[in-house]
Structure 1
Amino acid sequence: MSLERLVAIMRRLRDPERGCEWDRAQNFATIAPYTIEEAYEVADAIARDDMDALADELGDLQLQVVFHAQMAEEAGHFRLDDVLDGICDKLERRHPHIFGDAEHSPGWEELKAAERKKSPDSSALAGVALALPALERAAKLQRRAARVGFDWPDVAGPRAKVDEELAELDGETDHQRKLEELGDLLFAVVNLARHLNIDAEAALREANAKFERRFRAIEGEPGFANLSLEEKEALWVRAKADQADSSA
């Protein structure tokens, strides 16, 4: 099987005597950034609807799982089989309506809540990964709090909070306090997005893409770097109008 081949290759790369010097030197912390990067590259291939790239990136992501599992096995923590058995058990446990008694099956949230109760951390916020993108993690923390009733009843509350946080940012002069207030403002904007049923992370990705399209359209203009800000702004407005017309 291909998975067995990949496991064998990774074991050889990590072999203390015959392995690759770079692979042998790695640990969980040094590999984690690559794991996150590969997950984003999977998402990028999906966004571009590039199935060839997706197949390639999924392979890279699978390598990350095998890499971590190999290091864990060497340290005596767990093996790849334990990882696979664990996810199989979890899927069956979380889908009792498929693999068990459909009539008496608890709901998804009940199952998740029961799992959290078994954790040493009993908070409603337990298990929200620190490595998530900040906007996504903010939304997830807010959703968790909302499940136990800590939430605005409608969009008016978070909308007013954005104005409040913006005013507090404007009133600060200390750099550290400005940093804190800007964080509060971003958190409030994510809350507003959530109440509008908008994914803040997706909205910012779209804004990034839009900025990139428009900037690329104007930076090729002759002498762009030496133009005044007003001239660059005029080009920006024209590019904005041109792209709006082309998408209509």
Structure 2
Amino acid sequence: MNEFAHYSLDDLLALMAVLRDPEQGCPWDVKQDWHSIVPHTLEEAYEVADVIERRAFDELPSELGDLLFQVVYYSQFAHEEGRFDFQDVIDALMSKMLKRHPHVFPEGTLASRRRNASAAEIENIDRRWEQLKAEERDDRHDQEAGAVLADIPRGLPALTRAAKLTKRASRVGFDWPDTRDVIAKIREELDEVEEALDAADDDHVREEIGDLLFAVVNLARQRKIDPEQALRATNGKFERRFGYVEQALAQSGRTLEEADLAEMDRHWNDAKHRERERNSTEESL
């Protein structure tokens, strides 16, 4: 444990209030508002994901703290404007979680918790969860047109939002019945990209590439794969392999600019081979 281990949530809330004090606070913190903090919130969420994917768990307490600080920030803004405070955030979360877990809290209170849900209840958890979320959406949107997709945040990364849009649509039956149908759609969209390229129409190419990506996201979603996580993993793999290419060339006294594509491709394939051997060795341990 470190020297900060004994601070409490109340201490954190008090710290934020001081940072935001117009006379005694930090000038940077004082000038922040709802919109200026959003990019930092997104960045902190991705840093948490990165730490977990790298399994750098010793870094996780700090990154989770940074993410929690974002919640404290918004709560302070709201408190200053008389909208709500951090306690209201906790109350809203607790109420929602108790309501969404009737198989654990049948009376909607912590005191009503039970043990050993039946097999049938466990099987219906996902269905019931989505039903409760749909009821909450109906309450918020009062059954207006477009309510099925209305609360999916537009600020989400495009791959994540596409997955959520298609998942929500699939809940009401708007989905391909078979994975092979999605693959056929991907091939169809790829053909349309080629047609747009042949026509040298940049706007059309942009549109068709978007359609192709959307179809690929559908495939990932059907296979219960998070497309954002999958692409982040591929980004990491590309970085490792390209770094190997750069290092291999440097060891032979050459730069990337001096090498031709065939030479870089040989080192790339060597990097792939080494990764497969390493993964095979780790799996056998």
Q: TM-score, length-normalised on structure 2? A: 0.81
Report the counterpart of residue 212 of structure 2 in structure 1.
185
Shift of 1:53: 0.8
Give the one of 130, 140, 158 matched to 1:109: 130
Report the counterpart of residue 243 of structure 2 in structure 1.
216
The answer to whether 1:56 aligns with 2:62 is yes
Give the one of 257, 260, 269 matched to 1:228: 260
Shift of 1:154: 0.3
Q: Bigger CA drift: 63-72 or 196-205?
A: 196-205
Residues 74-126 of structure 1, C-alpha deviations (whole Å, 9 max, x = no match): 12221111111111111111112222248999922221121111012642213
Report the counterpart of residue 239 of structure 1 in structure 2.
271
What are the residue-to-residue correspondences of 1:17-28 with 2, within 5 Å?
Answer: 17-28=23-34
Which ranges in structure 1 are unaligned for 5 or more consecutive residues?
Answer: none
1:224 and 1:232 in contact (8 A); partners too: no
Residues 37-60 of structure 1, C-alpha deviations (whole Å, 9 max, x = no match): 111111122222223211111111
Which ranges in structure 2 are unaligned for 5 or more consecutive residues?
Answer: 1-6, 108-113, 281-285
Report the counterpart of residue 119 of structure 1 in structure 2.
140
Residues 180-207 of structure 1, C-alpha deviations (whole Å, 9 max, x = no match): 1111100001112223333322221221
1:142 and 1:191 in contact (8 A); partners too: yes
Q: Quick one: distance in 2 between partners of 1:49 and 1:210?
A: 16
Q: Quick one: distance in 2 between partners of 1:76 and 1:2?
A: 24
Q: Quick one: distance in 2 between partners of 1:177 and 1:203?
A: 27
Query: Which structure has the higher relative contact order (CA within 8 Å, separation 6+)?
Result: 1
Residues 15-72 of structure 1, C-alpha deviations (whole Å, 9 max, x = no match): 1111111101101111011111111111122222223211111111111111111011
Q: TM-score, length-normalised on structure 1? A: 0.93
Kindly tell me: are residues 244 and 31 of structure 1, through their superposed partners in 2, closer, same or farther at Cα, counting changes over 3 Å? same
1:215 and 1:236 in contact (8 A); partners too: yes
Report the counterpart of residue 80 of structure 1 in structure 2.
86
Identity of aligned residues (%): 49
Q: Quick one: distance in 2 between partners of 1:76 and 1:140?
A: 33
